[in-house]
Structure 1
Amino acid sequence: MPPCVIEKDRSRALYTVMWLCTLAAWCVSLSTATSDIFTCSVPEDPVSARFGHVATMPCWLTPSMNAEDLEVRWYRPKDFDNPVLLYRERKIQEASQQSQFEGRTSLGLREVTSEGLKGGDVTLKLVNVTLRDQGEYVCYVSSNQGYEIASVFLNVTVMGSPPLLSAVRTDADSVNVSCVSHGWKPRPRLQWSDGRQTLKPEKLDYSSGANGLVSAHSWVLSSPSSAPWVSCSLVLSEGEELEGRVDLRNLASVPETSSGLQTAVIILALLLLLSVVFIGVFYKKRGNKSTRVPEGDIVDIKTMSQVEDLVDIETMRQAGVDVTLDPKTAHRHLTVSQNGKIVRDSEDNVCPPGNRAYILGTHGFTSGNSAYWEVRLDKENVGIKESWWVGLASGSVKRQGDVPATPSNGFWFLSSDKEKGLRLNMTPNILLPANPRPQTLGVYLDYDKGVLSFINVKDNKLIVTVRAMFIGEVFPLFNPGKGDKAPMTILDVSRYKTDTVKVSVSERESNVAPPVEEAETDALLASNQSHNHQTSESKDR
Structure 2
Amino acid sequence: MAMHEIIARFCRLTGRNICSLSVKCTRNTTLPASRRYISRSTGNSIQFRLDERTAHSSLDLFKKDTGVIYRMLGLDPSHVQDNPERFRDWAVVFGSEEITGGRHYWEVTVKRSQEFRLGVAEAKMAREDCIGTNAASWVFGYTQRKWSAMTSNKMVPLQLVGKPERVGVLLDYEAGLLALVDTERPKIIHSIRGRFRGPLCPAFGLWDGELLTHSGLEEPESLVGC
TM over 0.5: yes
Aligned pair in 2 of structure 1 residues 428, 363: CA closer, same or farther (>3 Å)? closer
Aligned pair in 2 of structure 1 residues 405, 488: CA closer, same or farther (>3 Å)? closer
TM-score scaled by length of structure 2: 0.66
Q: What is the SS of the residue equivalent to 2:53?
A: helix
Q: 8 Å contact 1:351–1:357 — kept in the other structure?
A: no
What is the root-mean-square deviation in Å for CA atoms of aligned residues?
A: 3.2
Displaced runs of 4+ in structure 1, greater than 3 A?
404-409
Matched residues in 2 for 1:385 and 1:474: separation?
Answer: 25
In structure 2, the partner of 1:491 is: 214
Aligned pair in 2 of structure 1 residues 493, 410: CA closer, same or farther (>3 Å)? same
In structure 2, the partner of 1:424 is: 149
Residue identity opposite 1:335 in structure 2: D
Q: What is the SS of the residue equivalent to 1:328?
A: helix
Query: What do the CA deviations read for 1:318-368 (whole angstroms, capped 9, x no partner)?
Result: 93221211111101110001511110101333899xx8211001111113x
Alignment of 1:37-116 (within 5 A): none
Query: What do the CA deviations read for 1:481-515 (whole angstroms, capped 9, x no partner)?
Result: 22x3xx21112544x58xx959xxxxxxxxxxxxx
Q: What is the SS of the residue equivalent to 1:377?
A: strand
Matched residues in 2 for 1:492 and 1:468: separation?
Answer: 22
In structure 2, the partner of 1:468 is: 194
In structure 1, the partner of 2:83 is: none
Q: What is the SS of the residue equivalent to 2:207?
A: coil
Matched residues in 1 for 2:191 and 2:118: separation?
Answer: 13
Identity rate, percent:
20
In structure 2, the partner of 1:359 is: 93
Residue identity opposite 1:447 in structure 2: Y
Aligned residues: 173
Q: 8 Å contact 2:91–2:205 — kept in the other structure?
A: yes
Q: 8 Å contact 2:140–2:147 — kept in the other structure?
A: yes
Aligned pair in 2 of structure 1 residues 490, 401: CA closer, same or farther (>3 Å)? closer
Residue identity opposite 1:461 in structure 2: K
In structure 2, the partner of 1:538 is: none
Matched residues in 1 for 2:196 and 2:133: separation?
Answer: 10
Q: 8 Å contact 1:422–1:434 — kept in the other structure?
A: no
Query: Alpha-carbon deviation of 1:436?
Result: 1.8
In structure 2, the partner of 1:332 is: 57
The counterpart of 1:411, out of the listed 128, 137, 145, is: 137
The counterpart of 1:323, out of the listed 41, 48, 56, is: 48
Q: 8 Å contact 2:119–2:140 — kept in the other structure?
A: yes
Q: 8 Å contact 2:49–2:65 — kept in the other structure?
A: yes
Alignment of 1:134-533 (within 5 A): 319-337=44-62, 339-349=64-74, 356-367=90-101, 369-378=102-111, 385-397=113-125, 400-403=126-129, 405-406=131-132, 408-417=134-143, 419=144, 421-426=146-151, 427-433=153-159, 435-482=161-208, 484=209, 487-494=210-217, 496=218, 501=221
Matched residues in 2 for 1:345 and 1:357: separation?
Answer: 8
Matched residues in 2 for 1:457 and 1:423: separation?
Answer: 18
In structure 2, the partner of 1:282 is: none
Query: Alpha-carbon deviation of 1:480?
Result: 2.5
Q: 8 Å contact 1:373–1:442 — kept in the other structure?
A: yes
Residue identity opposite 1:436 in structure 2: G
Query: What do the CA deviations read for 1:153-176 (whole angstroms, capped 9, x no partner)?
Result: xxxxxxxxxxxxxxxxxxxxxxxx
Q: 8 Å contact 1:324–1:341 — kept in the other structure?
A: yes
Matched residues in 1 for 2:184 and 2:129: separation?
Answer: 34
Alignment of 1:109-128 (within 5 A): none
Residue identity opposite 1:395 in structure 2: A
Query: What do the CA deviations read for 1:186-217 (whole angstroms, capped 9, x no partner)?
Result: xxxxxxxxxxxxxxxxxxxxxxxxxxxxxxxx
Q: More helix per residue: 1 or 2?
A: 1
Residue identity opposite 1:462 in structure 2: I
Bigger-Rg structure (1/2): 1
Structure with more relative contact order (C-alpha pairs < 8 Å, separation 6 or more): 2
Query: Alpha-carbon deviation of 1:377?
Result: 1.2
Query: What do the CA deviations read for 1:5-53 (whole angstroms, capped 9, x no partner)?
Result: xxxxxxxxxxxxxxxxxxxxxxxxxxxxxxxxxxxxxxxxxxxxxxxxx
Unpaired runs of 5+ in structure 1? 1-246, 253-295, 297-317, 379-383, 503-541
Query: Alpha-carbon deviation of 1:434?
Result: 6.2
